[in-house]
Structures are given as structure tokens and as C-alpha cells.
Amino acid sequence: MYQERIVLTSKDILEKDFKIDTRGYRPQEVDRYLDTIIKDYEEMNSIINELDSDKKELLEENSRLKKEIRSLKSKLEIALENEGQGASGVNADLLRRLSNLEKIIYGKE
């Protein structure tokens, strides 16, 4: 997802050659610094992949919970229609479950 926004890869950094002139930088110092940058890049890519995976799982769970809420709302409507027929215990249970799911989805308010 974010990979296309990053210009350099760790391989690009590793394979970069600098021109050296008489007053240039020390190649060993540049190499050490580039090694540090490469490690950071690889760690950043690892973190991005983990976050993308977590995001995907959360979106799937959110979708599943929303479907369950819709299902419970429809069951609640049916139960409310049948309230006069002794379904008050079922209604209370459905209301409690619906409330708990809404707290999970929308946060505790």
C-alpha cells in the first residue's frame, strides 16, 4: 500500500556508488551510514506490512460485527412484534447483546 510512495529500496541504497574526488567523503564512513539507513528501511517496511495486516484483520472484524448488529436488530424487531406473546425475556437478552456489540463497534460511550 505505502510501498509505491517510497522512492528508494534498501537494495537501491546498498548498491549506490558515490564518485570520489580528492576531497571526498571517506567511503567506509559512507558505507556504515548507508548500512544504518538500510536497516531502518527494512524495519520500516516490516512495520508497514504488520500494520497493513492488522488493518485488514480489523476491517474484516468490523464488517462481521456490523453484520451481526444488523441481524440482531432484525431479530429485535421480530421480538418486539411478538412482545405480547411472552417474549420479554428474549427482548431483554437481544437488547443487551445489541448494546454490547454497539459498544465494541462504536466505542464505549
Q: Per-residue pLDDT tens for 15-70?
A: 887 777 777 777 788 888 888 888 888 888 889 999 999 999 999 999 999 999 98
Vertex 25 angle, CA 19 and 30, to 5°: 90
Work out how many domains the chain is built from and give that number.
Answer: 1
pTM of the model: 0.55
d(CA 65, CA 62): 5
Backbone angles phi, psi at 26, to 5 degrees: -75, 125
What domain range includes position 32? 3-106
SS3 15: coil
